[in-house]
Amino acid sequence: MEPTTTVSTGGMSESGRAADPSRRNSWVLVVFTAVTNLTDGVTKVALPLVATSLTTSPALVSGVLLAFSLPWLLVALHVGVLVDRADRRRLLWLANGIRIAAVLSLSMGLATHVVGLPMLYGGAVVLGVAEVIASTSGAAMVPDAVAPIHRQRVNAWVVGAETLCNEFVGPFLGGLLVAASASIALGASTGGYLIAMAVLPLLVGRFKVVRAAGPIPSVNRQVGEGLRFLWHQRLLRLLSLSVSVLVTCWAAWLALMPLVATEKWGLSPTGYGALVGALGLGGIVGTLGVGTANRLFGRRWVMFANIFLTCSMVAVPAVTANVWAADAGAFLGGMGGTLWVVNSRGISQMLVSAEMMGRYNSAARLSSWGPIALGAPLAGALAQWLGYRLAFGVFAVAAATVIIPFLRTFTPEVLAEVDAGMATR
């Protein structure tokens, strides 16, 4: 293991007494998260809808989502090492700069009528790389920027901002903008990423791990350390493996629904955006209710409920083409996902040190985002061969396989240990 030190979480007053910047940093992180996720929501609706104008193949349309998620499989672990070595705030600037370059290139391609599927896939890959950098850096910054007593609330706010903007407002706005013009949608994305960059200087503190003098371990060795850490933490390992299965179901829904909603069910781009927005509405309800739900039922049962709620999201379109039922399933899936994410982030922030946070988050998010790169093309292939209803049914069964491992590993005794650890931090 490399030498470890601490990360500064705030400035010092002239008298030498540490100043707590948690309140200011909390708002900056929430605003940054809201703006970038609003913009991501627009972009991730715009590109698949552009793809539907180029092809009617479910597999080729789902390739856009595959391209978005592929970087989580290819570069996430090495980005984790970068996050543990570099200034995390500067990495957020870098990520948004990459996003702006990619979106401007796609906008120019649309304006000159040269956009094809290869260009869409390429732009999605670049945006995916930027998302890996931004997501890993942002998650690692929360323990650096916010005092422990405020973290559960900030986690809920951040997840709420992600959900509201990425899954509700962003997709709905994206549908409206694409209905006007895909170029307008991508132009709005450029402005959003610029605004997000402008708030980063308001963060207070240092966001780079300061290490003792000595040789720096190789990148591959640090990657290995992060993977071993995750594997030897039994609870974190369970959560990561469970998320791998559940996110594959989300990938199937997101990959198939653009074509199913517009071609099979006859929805307009705005209607599809509203359908995706049901995910975000459920997420907002989950964000507002997570504290109450934890008090009433305990975080173990709250997280367990997400398994059934995710299952319902993919089961509904397997048995009915009723749009209102699909909206309800999406709402339940969004609510369950938020309940899970808020609780799992709190658990990880208690169990993971600052020096390991970048590598842990990259490994954990590899398990939560990487499966999208597998689930999306698998869903497209199943839909092409068997029809979309059977494809959704396969993923509903997959979600149910998480039940027994979760109950056997995340026992009441483990929950008590986690809650006791959180109370002392």
pLDDT-wise least confident of 104-113, 255-264, 369-378, 400-409: 369-378
Which of 347, 392, 333 has the alpha carbon at shortest distance from 163? 333
What's 425's DSSP letter?
Answer: -
Identity at 274, one-letter amino acid code:
A
What is the C-alpha to C-alpha distance for residues 322 and 330, in angstroms, rounded to an integer? 12
Quote the pTM value. 0.73
The percent of residues in the chain predicted with pLDDT above 90, rounded, is 30
- The tens digit of pLDDT for each residue in 41-71 reads 888 888 888 888 888 887 788 788 788 878 8
What is the C-alpha to C-alpha distance for residues 50 and 185, in angstroms, rounded to an integer? 11
CB-neighbour burial class of residue 270 (10 A; exposed 0-12, middle 13-18, buried 19+): middle
- The answer, yes or no, to whether residue 7 has pLDDT greater than 90, is no
Helix/strand number for the chain, H first, E second: 17, 0
Q: What's phi and psi for 159, nearest 5 deg? A: -65, -40
- The tens digit of pLDDT for each residue in 137-156 reads 988 888 878 887 888 788 88
What is the C-alpha to C-alpha distance for residues 377 and 390, in angstroms, rounded to an integer? 15
**Residue 281 CA to chain centroid, in angstroms?**
16
- Helices 357-386, 388-400: axis angle to 10 degrees equals 140
For the domain 22-205+224-423, what is the CATH superfamily, name and number? MFS general substrate transporter like domains (1.20.1250.20)
CA 121, 398, 368, 155: dihedral to nearest 10 degrees? 120
Compute the average pLDDT of residues 157-175: 78
Q: Quick one: pLDDT band at residue 210, thresholds 50, 70, 90?
A: low
What is the C-alpha to C-alpha distance for residues 375 and 120, in angstroms, rounded to an integer? 19
CB atoms within 10 A of CB 231: 12
Sign of CA dihedral 122, 123, 125, 129: positive
Compute the average pLDDT of residues 152-164: 81
What pLDDT score does 213 carry?
A: 61
What pLDDT score does 19 carry?
A: 58
What pLDDT score does 15 carry?
A: 38
Q: What's phi and psi for 93, nearest 5 deg? A: -60, -45
- Domain definitions of the chain by residue range: 22-205+224-423
- The tens digit of pLDDT for each residue in 328-360 reads 999 999 899 889 988 898 888 888 887 888 889
Contact 361, 280 (CB under 8 A): no
On average, the pLDDT of the chain sits at 84
Distances (CA, A) of 266 to 167, 177, 257, 385, 386: 21, 19, 12, 21, 21
**Could you tell me which residues come within 8 angstroms of residue 179 by beta carbon, excluding any fewer than 6 positions away?**
268, 269, 270
Q: Quick one: pLDDT band at residue 112, thresholds 50, 70, 90?
A: confident
Compute the average pLDDT of residues 94-109: 92
What pLDDT score does 424 carry?
A: 55
Q: Quick one: pLDDT band at residue 4, thresholds 50, 70, 90?
A: very low
CB-neighbour burial class of residue 113 (10 A; exposed 0-12, middle 13-18, buried 19+): exposed
Compute the average pLDDT of residues 215-242: 88
What pLDDT score does 291 carry?
A: 84
